[in-house]
Structure 1
Amino acid sequence: MKNLLLAFIGLLLVGCAASSGGGAASDNADYDFNKRAIDILKPKCEKGNYSACNDLAISYQNLKDHKTAQKYYDKACQNNYQLACTNLANMYQSGLGVDRDKNKALEIFNTSCTNGGAISCYYLGDFYRSGDEGKEPDYVAAMSAYERGCKLGDIPSCTNTGVLYENGLGVAQDESKARNIYRSACFSGDSSACDNLKRMGRKR
């Protein structure tokens, strides 16, 4: 569902430049775009605009300066800008520019989710739900994280609570409740919820 958040936002930031063509010209345009963004965002970040710090980190990430990106994600996260916490945790989870450390990622996701980071709740739920690297899924913890993310306004988290209800994972199976959740999430714009709702309709 969601790919690495910082990469996605990075693509949005460089979209206009990247659309101008391919090859070296496009690479130069992307580089120039991100350098200009850094010149604009860095003073704002230094003055305490932590949204700017997050965007500044994305520009450094696009330029493959992961160490500096980590520095600014951390600065914004330490000042309760939760999207930066999510991006920082994703760096540790994927090993993108830092040593891969899933325990560190889990710690950041958990703290951010507790502090109101809705998207961190989504990734926290995914962490507990997955059974990768030999660990057993913890569907009860996944449901708790998704429910919190949903209450904080992250619609894909809502959809995932529906998935757990539909399949009886971590909760008693309740297909009616799953349909209602999918319907609400679909109306809120989550295409995967719409797909799930259609699929369940075909089961009748």
Structure 2
Amino acid sequence: MARSYDLTDEKQTKEYLRDVEIEYQFQCLDQKEADGCHRLAEFRENVKKNITAAAPLYKENCDSNKYPKSCYKYGQCLITGKGIPDNKPDLISALQYYEKACDYGLGSGCFNAAQLRLSGTGDNQSNSEKAMSLLDKACELNDGEACFKLSTFYLMGQRVEKDLSKAFQLAKKGCELGSVYSCSNLGLMYRHGNGTEKNAKLANEAKQRAMKLYEETRKKQPTVKVNE
């Protein structure tokens, strides 16, 4: 039978966290489970506040187990310099790890890689083309912010040929995925008939969804997540 803990008691809370760490260590070091290694790294980073111990584990779990979330997290370490030798940001290496996360199917990895390429990190001759490809894949992998970014490019005719119909479809998908700005743009496109027929009812629905999403985001409190 699993032990129950009274997390209002300081001593039992410490025992609970100790047992959680032991469980993650067992999953990672004994069972060689990629998910367990990622959980252990997040525990070290978020609960023990030891990014120096977490970063190498993210890297190893990405390189050896091809675990996309660990690739993404190590990319975060590289871009901030936290947990990295000399604490120096390394944008080129961050790009590589975000792209690994993307290759392994994580939309946020594709999006961050695209953002870096759009900022000029990487091979300058092919940055724009690669960035658009990464954004397209991120949107396909249901990253709402990538759908919004792409929608804006097609709406404005920046980096791609202007295509209002495609801009509308991307804004619609981004809104469905919970992107506040996608919903806002979608409402305006319905209102003015850009890429779709005018529809005041749907314009208002999109606007209301944008407002609701904004309020939900604003009210969210930071939480520590150790098992994602």
Tell me the TM-score normalized by structure 2: 0.66
Q: Is the 8 A contact 2:143 2:174 kept in 1?
A: no
Partner of 1:86: 72
1:184 Cα shift?
Answer: 2.1
- CA deviations on 1:44-103 (whole Å, 9 max, x unpaired) are 112122112112111111222122101221222121111110000111001123231111
Which has the larger share of helix? 1
Change (3 A) 1:30 1:66: farther
Q: Do the aligned residues in 1 keep the contact of 2:135 with 2:147 (CA within 8 Å)?
A: yes
Q: CA deviation at 1:199?
A: 3.8
Verify the 8 A CA contact 1:83 1:119 in the aligned structure 2.
no
- Alpha-carbon contact 2:154-2:161 (below 8 Å) kept: yes
Residue 60 of structure 1 is matched in structure 2 by: 44
Report how far residue 30 of structure 1 moved: 8.6
Q: What aligned pairs does 1:30-69 form with structure 2 within 5 A after superposition?
A: 34-46=17-29, 47-62=31-46, 63-69=48-54
Q: Aligned partners of 1:31 and 1:196: how far apart in 2?
A: 48
Q: Which runs of 5+ in 2 are unaligned?
A: 1-6, 194-228
Contact 2:154 2:166 in 1 (8 A): yes
Alpha-carbon distance in structure 2 between the residues aligned to 1:191 and 1:30: 37
SS in 2 for 1:164: helix
How far off is 1:161 after superposition?
A: 1.6
1:57–1:70: 8 Å Cα contact kept in structure 2? yes
Q: How well do the aligned residues superpose, as a CA RMSD in angstroms?
A: 3.0
- Decide whether aligned partners of structure 1 residues 44 and 180 sit closer, same or farther in structure 2, where only a CA change above 3 A counts: same
Q: CA deviation at 1:175?
A: 2.4
Judged with a 3 Å threshold, the aligned counterparts in structure 2 of structure 1 residues 138 and 74 are, in CA distance, closer, same or farther, namely: closer
Which has the greater radius of gyration?
Answer: 2
Q: Deviations over 1:5-32 (max 9, x none)?
A: xxxxxxxxxxxx8xx8xxxx8xx99977
The residue number in structure 2 matching 1:198 is: 187
Q: Would you say how many aligned residue pairs link Structure 1 and Structure 2? A: 178
- On the 8 A contact 1:131/1:137 being kept in 2, the answer is no
Aligned partners of 1:96 and 1:29: how far apart in 2?
31
Hey, what's the Cα distance between the residues in 2 that align with 1:147 and 1:163? 13
Residues 167 and 114 of structure 1, relative CA distance in 2, 3 Å threshold: same
Measured in 2, the distance between the counterparts of 1:33 and 1:199 equals: 50
Q: What amino acid sits opposite 2:119 in the alignment?
A: S
The answer to whether the Cα contact below 8 Å between 1:42 and 1:56 also exists between their aligned partners in 2 is yes
Q: What displacement does 1:168 show?
A: 1.8
Q: Which runs of 5+ in 1 are unaligned?
A: 1-16
> Which moved further from structure 2: 82-91 or 164-173?
164-173
**Cross-structure match for 1:102:** 91
